[in-house]
Amino acid sequence: MIVTTAGRPDEESMALAKAACIKLSLPFKDRKKRSVSAMIQEYGAEILVAGKNRYAFYTSTESEPFFFHPNSAAFRLKRMMKGEVDPFVETAGIDKGDTILDCTLGMGSDCIIASFAAGAQGKVRGCEVHPVIAFIVQEGLRLYKDGSQELLEAMRRIEVIPRDSLEYLKEQPDKTVDIVYLDPMFEEVIEESDNFQSLRAAGFHTQLSEEWVNEAKRVARKRIILKAHFRSDLFEQFGFERKVRLASKFHYGTMTI
């Protein structure tokens, strides 16, 4: 993997490229007006591009890059501010001041909603095992500037853990997190955006296991939440109470501790 800049680099993109090289211990290659696809072929490597206020991750298998964007979190938060109930927040039973551990951070949309619901006194952490995806989301949560003040504040409060979530759970003391959230991305595609497809291609996907659920039970104080495709049998397999959502491609499952 290598780091480069946008086609016409400025001081900001050069600074972002340098920061990525240092943080991820990756080499830098000057763009020299080359296309990303040409650089992928020339170096035989995946490429992290530092642009204006954001990073984009290109692989050889996907035509679209992965980059951070709050996606559905932006309009979900707007609805919440108007008094509407978010299904995830309702199912998880998130209260002000709660601590939430998202074991499958992905693009961070649910973490943003959890952060808003838990408020300034809450604490939201998200695990992402792919170091580059974790870096892009972490920096995106920090650098993103569009959106309401409430959205940006919720984003800034999230802590990204660049770790395998099972290994991270094993290190946590008993009953130290109010809610543990599991959203494994290995069965069927739920989201349909190009950005989500690139995330699936780039990320590591670990199947839900009894060990993973048992560690979540040990660490959680209130409940564990599972998100999976509506055709999934994970809810029944691991003892979650399925919350059917007739108009949605995915269901939530709850396990009260």
Question: What does the domain layout of the chain look like in residue ranges?
Answer: 2-52, 72-256
Look at residue 8 and tell me whether its pLDDT is greater than 80.
Answer: yes
Model pLDDT, residue 185: 63
Q: Reduced to 3 states, what is the DSSP secondary structure of residue 101? A: strand
Look at residue 124 and tell me whether its pLDDT is greater than 50.
Answer: yes
Q: Which residues contact 50 (CB under 8 A, 6 or more apart)?
A: 3, 4, 5, 6, 9, 13, 14, 16, 17, 19, 20
Taking all residues of the chain, what is their mean pLDDT, rounded to a whole number? 91
Look at residue 191 and tell me whether its pLDDT is greater than 70.
Answer: no
Model pLDDT, residue 200: 52
Model pLDDT, residue 151: 97
- CA torsion through residues 90, 215, 119, 144, sign: negative
- Rounded mean pLDDT, 193-221: 75
Looking at the structure, give the CATH architecture of the domain made up of residues 72-256. 3-Layer(aba) Sandwich (3.40)
Radius of gyration of the chain (CA): 19
- The residue that leads in pLDDT, 210 or 206, is 210
- Rounded mean pLDDT, 174-188: 84
What 8-state DSSP symbol labels residue 85? P
Look at residue 53 and tell me whether its pLDDT is greater than 90.
Answer: no
Please, which pLDDT band fits residue 192 given cuts at 50, 70 and 90?
very low
Q: Token match 């939430």: residue? A: 100
Q: Reduced to 3 states, what is the DSSP secondary structure of residue 159? A: strand
Q: Give the integer Cα–Cα distance in Å for 47 and 38.
A: 11
- Rounded mean pLDDT, 189-193: 47
Model pLDDT, residue 62: 75
Query: Tell me: the pLDDT tens digits for 214-256?
Result: 999 999 999 999 999 999 999 999 999 999 988 898 999 999 9
Question: What does residue 192 show for φ and ψ, rounded to 5 degrees?
Answer: -125, 5
CB atoms within 10 A of CB 184: 19
Cβ atoms of 141 and 107 closer than 8 Å: no
Above pLDDT 90, what percent of the chain?
83
Look at residue 171 and tell me whether its pLDDT is greater than 60.
Answer: yes
Q: Give the integer Cα–Cα distance in Å for 251 and 194.
A: 22
Model pLDDT, residue 193: 47
Single out the residue of 7, 35, 29, 3 nearest to residue 16, CA to CA: 3
Look at residue 38 and tell me whether its pLDDT is greater than 70.
Answer: yes
Q: Give the integer Cα–Cα distance in Å for 145 and 142.
A: 9
Q: Give the integer Cα–Cα distance in Å for 103 and 216.
A: 9
Single out the residue of 168, 207, 212 nearest to residue 184, CA to CA: 207
- Between helices 109-118 and 149-156, what is the axis angle to 10°? 100
Q: Lowest-confidence range among 16-20, 45-49, 118-122, 198-202?
A: 198-202
Q: Give the global pTM.
A: 0.90
Q: Which residues contact 7 (CB under 8 A, 6 or more apart)?
A: 31, 33
Q: Lowest-confidence range among 43-57, 58-72, 128-142, 200-214?
A: 200-214
Model pLDDT, residue 161: 97
